[in-house]
Amino acid sequence: MRSAGGPIQKRIDGHRQILGVPVFSGSLERVLRLGVEKLKEGDNRALMVVFTLTTEQVVMAQHDKPFCRSLMQSTLNVPDTVGVAWGARLPKRVPGVELAEKLVLEALKLGKKVFLVGGRPGVGQKAAESFLPRLQTKAKTLIAATTGAADIAREQVTEREAVLGEIRAFKPMLVLVAYGAPWQEEWLIKNAAALEQAGVRLAMVVGGAFDIWAGNIPRAPLKWRQIGLEWLWRLRHEPWRWRRQLRLVEFIVRVGGERVSL
């Protein structure tokens, strides 16, 4: 955990452990309130870092030490999936795509700039433009996007500096990163000091949210989400994800074993 004097705001109280990974127990509404309060605190320099945990990522952290270290340094780790909420004994999950969308809208209403990083070429810009019809015309000058590294797994120093340069020039308060796990989490931790110095106050990972906002991938209907089957809906539309679902079995076995040993 970072100290209060570091670039990252210290972890907020209310986290539980699931297989050694901290998971925030607060509701979507509480996380949103914390985020909005952060955006209003322009003079509070510490960077709030929000990660959205999936069952796959919790399992990944058991095998990937650098990724696990990144998860230990964030301000908030919210339970993005039903599996994580179940494993942490929480009544509800905090859907990352929904949280991020609400934060963007609140930031733009407050007149705060928002910057989107990552996604396939052109998707981030299309995602940014999707917010404009819901807001006043001035919002066009408050949100921007960049694709960033061509291959985040092999990000070049020049690519990293180019993204940070765009952020410094745009001066956003909210930055959303869609590089996919574990790269988006590691990228935020690695660049936390640079983001803080650029004036960013809230940074969050968003996975595939840009594709949903851009209209490339439909989000699961409400009924599917309410019964915890959003993952199955995504699998239907992105069948290449099937290998990832194998980690769900390991997650259930590990969490079950942890509970038996208590």
Q: What does the pLDDT look like over 213-262, one tens digit per residue?
A: 999 988 878 777 777 777 667 677 666 665 666 777 788 888 877 764 44
Evaluate whether residue 232 is within a structural domain: yes
Mean pLDDT of 34-53: 90
How high is the pLDDT of residue 65? Answer: 97
Ordered alpha helix ranges (H), the chain: 28-40, 55-63, 65-71, 82-87, 96-109, 123-129, 157-170, 183-190, 192-197, 209-213, 222-226, 230-237, 242-261
pLDDT in tens, 52-100: 999 999 999 999 999 999 999 999 999 999 999 999 999 999 999 999 9
Burial class, 256, CB count within 10 angstroms (exposed 0-12 / middle 13-18 / buried 19+): exposed
Evaluate whether residue 86 is within a structural domain: yes
Evaluate whether residue 4 is within a structural domain: no
Evaluate whether residue 10 is within a structural domain: no
Percentage of the chain surpassing pLDDT 70?
90
| Residues written for the chain | 262
How high is the pLDDT of residue 237? Answer: 66
Mean pLDDT of 155-183: 98
Domain span holding position 23:
15-261
pLDDT in tens, 120-151: 999 999 999 999 988 866 778 999 999 999 99
Q: How far is residue 213's CA from residue 129's CA, in Å, rounded to a whole number? A: 9
**CB contact at 8 A, 131 and 139:** yes
Evaluate whether residue 2 is within a structural domain: no
Structural domains counted in the chain: 1
How high is the pLDDT of residue 90? Answer: 96
Look-up of token digits 């929000």: 50
Evaluate whether residue 83 is within a structural domain: yes
Evaluate whether residue 5 is within a structural domain: no
Beta strand 143-146 pairing with 114-118: parallel
Q: How far is residue 260's CA from residue 121's CA, in Å, rounded to a whole number? A: 47
Evaluate whether residue 218 is within a structural domain: yes
Largest CA distance in the chain: 57
How high is the pLDDT of residue 258? Answer: 74
